[in-house]
């Protein structure tokens, strides 16, 4: 991933309504995501020439991990959402999910559980293990990256309160349940197959 803040998302802030409200999207993108980007560049002493992934693996100081991780995770997150969701996995990823979890419903339960049981702030991830091609669900705390040294992220869901508090207050489970309406499975499939 390049070090470039996405000034415009591929959809309007209100496009994911009613599942994710416009105000949450605007603040999340313009305030939270931008701050991670700005603070990462500050912590690095300027714009790095390496990719974001390379930076995450070579700068282990917490200011970089927190902010570069936050930049990276959110840059993926916006692309993993769409107002025109197929509402279910497609293609090779659909087959891999069915093979591992029997059905999309069972996969969804496992993924939601990863998000629900992450205490405090963090992310739930579906990722492909680069060494054996296996898909795995796990969660990470804070803005830790999804193991980019060993895994390719396919789907990540932000479970920080800033991602859902305005609309869902403390009801993380309701947010996780609603998000399946706006997942960009085409993007996840691309991540899986390339």
Residues that bind Fe ion (CB under 5 A): 158, 160, 163
For the bound state, the minimum distance from the C-beta of residue 86 to Fe ion, rounded and expressed in Å, comes to: 24
Nearer of residues 20 and 126 to Fe ion, judged by Cβ:
20
Nearer of residues 29 and 151 to Fe ion, judged by Cβ:
29
Q: How far is residue 189 from each of residues 108, 124, 140, 175, 192, measured CA to CA in Å?
A: 16, 17, 22, 23, 5
Cβ atoms of residues 153 and 54 within 8 Å: no
For the bound state, the minimum distance from the C-beta of residue 107 to Fe ion, rounded and expressed in Å, comes to: 23
Nearer of residues 13 and 192 to Fe ion, judged by Cβ:
13
Residue nearest Fe ion, CB atom distance: 158
Nearer of residues 158 and 189 to Fe ion, judged by Cβ:
158
For the bound state, the minimum distance from the C-beta of residue 141 to Fe ion, rounded and expressed in Å, comes to: 13
For the bound state, the minimum distance from the C-beta of residue 160 to Fe ion, rounded and expressed in Å, comes to: 5
Q: How far is residue 123 from each of residues 7, 43, 92, 148, measured CA to CA in Å?
A: 23, 23, 24, 14
Q: At what angle do helices 91-101 and 104-116 cross, to 10 degrees?
A: 80
Nearest alpha-carbon partner for 115 in 81, 163, 186: 163
């Amino acid at each position: 991933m390049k070090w470039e803040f996405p000034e415009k998302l591929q959809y309007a802030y209100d496009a994911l309504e009613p599942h994710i409200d416009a105000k949450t999207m605007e603040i999340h993108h313009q305030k939270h995501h931008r701050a991670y980007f700005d603070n990462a560049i500050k912590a690095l002493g300027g714009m790095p020439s390496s990719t974001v992934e390379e930076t995450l693996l070579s700068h282990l100081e917490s200011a970089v991990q927190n902010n570069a991780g936050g930049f990276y995770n959110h840059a993926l997150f916006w692309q993993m959402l769409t107002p025109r969701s197929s509402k279910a996995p497609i293609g090779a990823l659909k087959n891999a999910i069915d093979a591992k979890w029997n059905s999309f419903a069972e996969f969804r339960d496992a993924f939601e559980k990863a998000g629900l049981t992450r205490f405090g702030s963090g992310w739930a991830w579906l990722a492909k293990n680069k060494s054996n091609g296996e898909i795995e669900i796990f969660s990470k705390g804070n803005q830790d990256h999804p193991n980019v040294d060993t895994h390719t992220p396919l789907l990540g869901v932000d479970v920080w309160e800033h991602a859902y508090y305005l609309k869902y207050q403390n009801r993380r489970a309701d947010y996780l349940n609603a998000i399946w309406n706006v997942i960009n499975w085409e993007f996840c499939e691309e991540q899986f197959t390339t």
